[in-house]
Amino acid sequence: MPEEIIKGIYRIRVNLPNSPLKLLNSYIIIGEGENLLIDTGFNRPECLESLTEGLKALGVKMEETDILLTHLHADHSGLVPKLIKNGRRVFIGRDELPWMYGETRSILWELDNIKVSREGFSEEVIEKHLIKAPSRNMASEPDFDGFTPLDDGDILSYGGYELRAVLTPGHTPAHMCFWIEDEKLMFTGDHVLFDITPNITLWNFVEDSLGDYLHSLREIDKYDVRIALPGHRETGDFHGRIAELLKHHEERLDECYKVLCENPDSTIYEVSGKMSWKIRCNSWEDFPITQKWFAVGECHSHLRHLETRGLAVRDDSEDTILYRAVQ
Ligand SMILES: [Zn+2]
């Protein structure tokens, strides 16, 4: 059953099959004749079923509902084309649009394959596994292009509430949180999660994704948030959690730097294999391949950030990128 958070705002738990995230929090703001659904779940029947069940229990009609996406990831955006009705709108941060559909999406996915290969994954692994990643095969249909772009500071009004878009790049290039000032309520998407640490990868066409993320964390810390509504799992102490996340990344940067000092001229894949990961596996070799992909992406964003701090140098003159510490 959906759970009411404050008057007219509900959380629907959407099951995420075969995902360590377990569930997505979809939120709905119910207004008179016009509702707003925030995030949807993967493009999978299990997600559609749990979401539509929740919407039905609340008597929500999609003919009267717009959709708002916190970011481009498939576990948030995958079901949009299946849910949206004619004439209704789907909002998303402007710079997420190229990743959402059509030719730009195909090109960006292809560039991701090249990036992964430059990080040190073998061609065989890329062809056999990575092109089948959940982020791709559970994404929305590639021909759906009915998005309305949002910019930082844009205001949306639903159910008597005003939501202000707060651009929080890092987890994705134009991730957004949404702030209801009157209620001191923030929809945090995957920018601030409480039970898990948001994955920060290095995005193509972004100089320093981790640097952006840390900056966005400090910026959002300035809001007097009393109710934080995250994209996954449960809520918690907003400012306390931001402090923890900042500390976590400083520790990871330290660890990454240490590994690099001990192993000069390593590939990103090699550095990742020497870092510690919170996963029940005996060795790096035993990591499930999609988890390895997340881990290497995470390591890459940390190495790039060390570089911007002047603590590492990158040699990308060959096919595979090599990193070395500046001591
Ligand atoms: Zn997510």
pLDDT digits (tens, 9 = 90+) for 139-183: 999 999 999 999 999 999 999 999 999 999 999 999 999 999 999
Residue 263 CA to ligand 1 centre (angstroms): 33
Of 244, 271, 286, the residue that ends a domain is 244
Residue 256 CA to ligand 1 centre (angstroms): 25
154 with 279, same domain: the answer is no
Q: How far is residue 253 CA from its own chain's centroid? A: 20
Residue 317 CA to ligand 1 centre (angstroms): 34
DSSP secondary structure letter of residue 98: G
Mean pLDDT, to the nearest integer, of 254-273? 97
Residue 39 CA to ligand 1 centre (angstroms): 9
Mean pLDDT, to the nearest integer, of 37-60? 97
Residue 23 CA to ligand 1 centre (angstroms): 9
CA distance 144 to 69: 15
CB 174 within 8 A of CB 76: no
Residue 128's pLDDT is 78
* 182 lies in some domain: yes
Residue 200 CA to ligand 1 centre (angstroms): 12
Cβ partners under 8 Å of residue 38, min gap 6: 26, 27, 28, 29, 67, 68, 69, 70, 178, 187
Residue recorded with tokens 């907003």: 238
* 214 lies in some domain: yes
What is the CATH number for 214? 3.60.15.10
What is the CATH number for 301? 1.10.10
Residue 70 CA to ligand 1 centre (angstroms): 9
Residue 231 CA to ligand 1 centre (angstroms): 6
Residue 224 CA to ligand 1 centre (angstroms): 24
CA distance 66 to 40: 12
Of 244, 276, 298, the residue that ends a domain is 244
CA distance 187 to 176: 9
| The total number of structural domains that make up the chain | 2
- Dihedral angle sign, alpha carbons of residues 232, 234, 235, 240: negative
Residue 4 CA to ligand 1 centre (angstroms): 21
**What is the H or E stretch that residue 263 is in?**
none
78 with 166, same domain: the answer is yes
**What is the H or E stretch that residue 112 is in?**
helix 102-119
CA distance 280 to 31: 45
Residue 232 CA to ligand 1 centre (angstroms): 7
48 with 158, same domain: the answer is yes
CA distance 54 to 12: 6
27 with 155, same domain: the answer is yes
- Is the pLDDT higher at 132 or at 20? 20
Residue 326 CA to ligand 1 centre (angstroms): 35
Q: Which of 163, 116, 27, 134 is nearest to 73 (CA)?
A: 134
CA distance 215 to 67: 27
CB 66 within 8 A of CB 215: no
Residue 134's pLDDT is 74
Residue 15 CA to ligand 1 centre (angstroms): 12
What are phi and psi for residue 289, nearest 5 degrees? -60, -35
183 with 286, same domain: the answer is no
Exposure of 43 in the CB half-sphere (CA atoms within 13 A): 19
Task: Indicate the range of 10-24, 30-44, 127-141, 312-326 predicted with least confidence.
Answer: 127-141
Q: Which of 217, 311, 320 is nearest to 269 (CA)?
A: 320
Is 90 exceeded by the pLDDT of residue 291?
no
- Distances in Å between the Cα of 104 and the Cα atoms of 71, 99, 168, 196 are 17, 7, 22, 31
Residue 127's pLDDT is 83
Q: Which of 83, 85, 90, 78 is nearest to 148 (CA)?
A: 90
Report percent pLDDT > 70 for the chain: 99
Q: Which domain holds residue 277?
A: 248-325
Residue 311 CA to ligand 1 centre (angstroms): 31
Token pair of 97 as six digits: 């649009």
Token pair of 240 as six digits: 């306390």
Residue 140 CA to ligand 1 centre (angstroms): 14
Residue 17 CA to ligand 1 centre (angstroms): 13
Helix, coil or strand: residue 281: coil
Residue 1's pLDDT is 83
* 123 lies in some domain: no
198 with 62, same domain: the answer is yes
Is 80 exceeded by the pLDDT of residue 132?
no
CA distance 10 to 285: 42
Residue 74 CA to ligand 1 centre (angstroms): 8
**What's the mean pLDDT when you consider all of the chain?**
95
* Residues forming a β-bridge with 23: 15
* 109 lies in some domain: no
11 with 48, same domain: the answer is yes
Going through the chain in order, the beta strands assigned E by DSSP cover 3-6, 9-15, 23-29, 35-38, 65-68, 90-93, 147-150, 155-158, 161-167, 176-180, 185-189, 227-230, 312-315, 322-325
Token pair of 214 as six digits: 């840390």
Residue 234 CA to ligand 1 centre (angstroms): 13
Residue 9 CA to ligand 1 centre (angstroms): 20
